[in-house]
Structures are given as C-alpha cells and as structure tokens.
Amino acid sequence: MDALKTAVDAVVVLTGCDRDMVTHFIRGQYLSGVRDPKRLTFKGLQFAAEASG
C-alpha cells in the first residue's frame, strides 16, 4: 500500500487534481495488479491530464 500512497501523493502535488478522484483511479490500478509506484504515478498523471482537458 506504500506504492499506492506514494503515487497518489505525487499526482496530487504535481497536478492539483482532486485527491479522491486520483485515489479511486490509482486504487483500481493497484487492485488490478500494478504495484510499481513509478508506473502507478505515470498512469495517474495520464488520467489527470485526460480528466482536466
């Protein structure tokens, strides 16, 4: 779960997106088997970019 927390914190700091929205997305990725914090952060940033624009 440290990977999940690290990724959420990074995406929220870098994008300023809603923490709950980012947490929900990254948790889904984590539960589907992605455990690498860098990969979770990258996917989270992609998601945040799509959600904001």
Could you tell me which of 41, 50, 47 has the C-alpha nearest to residue 13? 41
pLDDT band at 48 (very low <50, low <70, confident <90, very high): very high
Mark residue 33 as left, alpha or beta (left: phi above 0; alpha: psi -120 to 50; beta: remaining). left
Residue 26 has pLDDT above 80, yes or no: yes
pLDDT band at 52 (very low <50, low <70, confident <90, very high): confident
CB atoms within 10 A of CB 21: 14
Rounded average pLDDT over 7-25:
95
pLDDT band at 53 (very low <50, low <70, confident <90, very high): confident
